[in-house]
Every structure is written in C-alpha cells, then in structure tokens.
Structure 1
C-alpha cells in the first residue's frame, strides 16, 4: 500500500507536558523532537514546529481505557487536538494510544534509565510510538489513520 508523502508531527498530550516527535517526508523514520510544557504558548510552539518542518498534519494520541472507553484524559486530548487544529490550520488526526506510555517506559527501563528523572524523555518516546503506529496503520491499510479533526485547507 502507499503512504501519503509529508512530515507528520506526533503528539503525546499529558496533563503537565506534551511529547513531540516527527517523521521524515517518506514516513520511514520517526524521531523524538522536544517536550513542551503544557500551558500558555504550547499550541503556538507546536504550530511553529509544524511550520519549521513543513508538516502535513499532526497525529495526536487519544488515551482510552484498556476496554476502549473514554476517560477524562480522552476529553482533555480531544480538546487539545481541536485547539491545535485551530491554532495551526493543519489537519489533526486522533489515534488510539493505549499503552504507548507504558511501552515508552519499558523501552527506557531496558536501557537502564531512571523513569522518574526521565519523564520528559518518556513523553517524547510515547509521541514517537504513537506516530510510528499511525504510519504503520496507514501503510498497511492505504488509508489515513484515526479520526480527522480538521481538514487542511491547502
């Protein structure tokens, strides 16, 4: 199957921080970028990063319970995604992120990192996992992943 060309920005939304990763244009490589403190200026910083990398869209992790039910974190991520779409003017896709933070923590633990002092790095790794999973889904299905929040007007 084919994958749309273009850089994607992966986002792991947390209560205190937002982990950010990005893909290359071909969607083959995903790298951690930065952890942004949640609050005033976070959306502007993400929009700036998207412009800097000439991004096609954002891929935001949607936290669901293990049963697939919505939680307070789900609503927070949905709200954040809507505000990000408005602030950036880019398409935003919400994708299931169940266990991405757990996978990120395990990945760092396997390298001997202290989890408590690595929280900002965990957020970036979680964003990387979210984006990699979304790209693999699109590559295998031939369809853009997740739920579209806003269509790019470009």
Structure 2
C-alpha cells in the first residue's frame, strides 16, 4: 500500500510517496499552485495517485506552537476535505510543526546552496511529514 505525503503551502505542494512496504518516504516533486485562482494542483495529484496506486494521503497540518490552529492549518483542513471528495481515499492530518525547519537543517548540513534549497524544501518537508507518519506505524 502506497501513501502520498503532502506539504501544502499557499504557492506549492511538496509531494512524497512511500515504498510498497510503508517503511520509507521518497520525495517526488513540488507542484506549483495558486490558491487565489482556485488552482490546487489536483490534475497533477490525480496523475501521481494513479501512477503509484495510492490508498491514503498524509497531509501536513501546521499548528501553532501552542497547539492552536491558525489560518494555514484551516487552509490544510479545507484542502483535506477537497482531497477526500476528489479522490475518495482517506486523508490523515499529521502535525507538521517544525518540519520545514527540520528540512532546512538537513539541506544546510548537506551544504545545498540557497537556490537549490528553495527548489526542494517543500518536497523535503513532505518526506519528513510522511516519514514521521510511517515511523509512528512501525
């Protein structure tokens, strides 16, 4: 069973996928979106779901450090509903506090240039979100 991990932002969606056994997460790509124009990347997500025969989404759920849900968390909840209606598969909201910062640290320690970090940070955050979920299962 493959699981798709998503790091949903206002301009991009980082995408990761699990291996068949559900042990590891691999980054796939970053999809450009435009929330204000109603472009949520669903055509590309449809291709990814079909290509990988995904049975579940794990969507990063950004909470404030005190545990409350702010505007980005509410946007993620709306996007989760959109995913469930569009694909008919479960969406798990996964606490993603600090996932982008952790991804940034990994890329910095790997000495990735600022320009390259900007291109892969969302995909890397999706990997961290999905890997955290997979680790919780095993």
Fold match (TM-score > 0.5):
yes
Matches of 1:41 and 1:47, distance apart in 2: 11
CA RMSD of aligned residues (A): 1.3
Residues 70/41 of structure 1: CA separation in 2 closer, same or farther (3 Å cut): closer
Note the residue ranges of structure 2 that are not aligned, 5 or more in a row.
none
The residue number in structure 1 matching 2:77 is 78
Note the residue ranges of structure 1 that are not aligned, 5 or more in a row.
1-5, 140-154
The residue number in structure 2 matching 1:148 is none
TM-score by length of 2: 0.91
Report SS of the residue matched to 1:19: strand
Structure with greater helix percent: 2
Matches of 2:49 and 2:75, distance apart in 1: 21
Q: How many residues align?
A: 134
The residue number in structure 2 matching 1:34 is 29
Runs of 4+ in 1 over 3 A off after TM superposition: none
1:67: Cα distance to partner?
A: 1.2
The residue number in structure 1 matching 2:52 is 53
Matches of 1:31 and 1:9, distance apart in 2: 10
Asked if the contact 1:61/1:96 (under 8 Å) is kept, the reply is yes
